[in-house]
Amino acid sequence: MASSSPIPVLKVLNQTSISPPVGTIPETTIPLSFSDLMWLYMGAVERLYFYSIPSITTTHFMEHLLPSLKSSLSLTLPHFFPLAGHIIHSPTPTPNFHYHFSTTNSIPFTVAESDDDFKHLIGDDARSVLRLSPLVPPLSPPSGDAATPLMAVQVTVFPNHGVSIGLTINHGACDGTSTANFMKFWADTCKSGSSAPFITPLFDRSLFIYPNELDSIFLDLAMKFRELIFNSSITTSGSKSINNEAKQDDVVIGSFWLSQDEIEKLKQWISKENAAVTYCSTFVVACAYVWTCQVRARGWEISRTAWFSFAVNLRGRLRPPVPKEYFGNCLGICVVTLEVGELVKDDGVSVAAEFIRRAIDELRDDALRYASTPEIGRTLGDNQPLTVAGSPAFRVYDRDFGWGRPVKVEVVSIGRNGAMSISEGRDGEGIGIGLAASKHEMDKFRLEFANGLQEL
């Protein structure tokens, strides 16, 4: 059960900003691709990394660990400079949005202290989003006119327990692959004490080849969102609450794990139950299992249509392929629909796996199949889909700043819409799942999740 104790007050110790070293990056402007525009007003991604340091004191952290954390971030930013810049709207000569970096740009950096229950926060039981949200920094959506940061960082000390690093990034700045590369660079630089790039990000938008008309489609969509957000009371932080029913103070995030052995058993069971599925990836198996458990937990009418959606990295799927070093958004969208009755049957997991795998396979022939139909976003939003944040490929549990691997990584932003997050397991094996739901639904989901594994 989620903790019922009062929400602790966060004590802000320091607020500053971090810039690339002077003279390392000239003033630069880069146009946004249609994929960047697609995500520009979809809300920021909020991720939390928890590190266990049992003997840590606030004084020790401020004097001995914080300086290297800040200096390594500064050394990292020249290689990922759009994150320190802003997104601006250029009305002429051709209307568009651009990344703009000037030598005065910086990233907001907050240091705080919390007396919250560290063990509870890194646990697997349901934790209130209201307990996790204060640990990630706020970030306003870009207006296109004002200089709004694209990323913010907050480091929180839990005396005698550990440290958390909260990262908030506007999704219009980059996708999860680019963020993962940024975090690896920063952590490795902090640990080694010097900048040793494992990857050189590429910012040339000509490397991402797609039909020109997609730019105008998503530019029009971005302009409509911009008008809604900044000429009314609507903001991306005011998104619909989970299931259009749960209030924010009822939203919890729970953690679930699939061991490598459980994944293999699920794969074998799926192949046995469904002759159409001779092979499916670990990602497909995990998503199929979570989706069916969630649908059962929600108790929907069997005639209702259930929706499932996730983003796919297109860098290696397009022709010609986009280099893996490409920085920005390069994503395709997969959408799967099934009747609830199909998902709650005994073979529901195998049916879900078949259709999820099929959606991925279809990207081979048409990687941009949903790009020309931006209205799919509204359709999804109206049907309470299960959406996915993250990927096991991001290797979030490998991010060692010199204090050891994180003991827990959470995607806090899934709390806005009842999504799931997915990562590798804490030990690098298996799969980690985060799920946001109402307290009532979470209890039902946890029971479905456990019972299903026992029956393998």
Domain harbouring 226, CATH code: 3.30.559.10
The pLDDT of residue 364 is 78
Q: Are residues 301 and 375 in the same domain?
A: yes
Q: Are residues 211 and 275 in the same domain?
A: no
The Cβ of residue 217 has, within 10 Å, a number of other Cβ atoms equal to 17
Q: Of the residues 238, 253, 275, which one is the last residue of a structural domain?
A: 238
Q: Which domain holds residue 369?
A: 242-393+405-454
Q: Are residues 285 and 427 in the same domain?
A: yes
Q: Are residues 321 and 445 in the same domain?
A: yes
User: Within its chain, how far is the Cα of 266 from the centroid?
Assistant: 25
Residue 232 contacts by C-beta under 8 Å, 6 or more apart in sequence? none
Q: Of the residues 177, 208, 238, which one is the last residue of a structural domain?
A: 238
Residues noted as catalytic: 171, 400
The pLDDT of residue 140 is 80
pTM above threshold 0.85: yes
The pLDDT of residue 304 is 96
Whole-angstrom Cα distance, residue 1 to residue 246? Answer: 16
CA dihedral 351, 354, 357, 359 (to 10 degrees): -80
The pLDDT of residue 313 is 95
Q: Are residues 259 and 177 in the same domain?
A: no
Q: Are residues 174 and 310 in the same domain?
A: no
Q: Are residues 200 and 313 in the same domain?
A: no
Does a structural domain hold residue 2? no
The pLDDT of residue 366 is 79
The pLDDT of residue 196 is 65
Q: Are residues 136 and 258 in the same domain?
A: no
Whole-angstrom Cα distance, residue 377 to residue 309? Answer: 10
Q: Which two tokens stand for residue 163?
A: 């440290």
The pLDDT of residue 166 is 99
70: burial class by Cβ within 10 Å (0-12, 13-18, 19+)? middle
Edge-to-edge strand order for the sheet containing 408-411? Answer: 11-18, 107-113, 151-158, 162-170, 44-52, 408-411
The pLDDT of residue 225 is 78
Strands 420-424 and 386-389, sheet pairing = parallel
Q: What is the DSSP string of 200-246?
A: --B--GGGS---THHHHHHHHHHHHHHHHHHSSS--GGGPPPGGGT-
Encode pLDDT of 232-281 as tens digits. Answer: 544 444 333 344 344 567 899 999 999 999 999 999 999 998 887 888 99
Instruction: Choose among 380, 344, 38: nearest CA to 214.
Output: 38
Contact call for residues 436 and 253 (beta carbons, < 8 A): yes
Q: What is the DSSP string of 137-189?
A: ---PPP-BSS--BSEEEEEEEETTTEEEEEEEEETTT--HHHHHHHHHHHHHH
Q: Are residues 154 and 255 in the same domain?
A: no
Whole-angstrom Cα distance, residue 328 to residue 368? Answer: 16
The pLDDT of residue 41 is 86
Does a structural domain hold residue 1? no
Whole-angstrom Cα distance, residue 448 to residue 454? Answer: 10
Give me Rg for the CA atoms of the chain. 22
Measured over the CA atoms of residue 292, residue 297, residue 298 and residue 299, the dihedral's sign is positive
In which residue ranges of the chain is pLDDT below 50?
1-3, 233-246
Q: Are residues 70 and 46 in the same domain?
A: yes
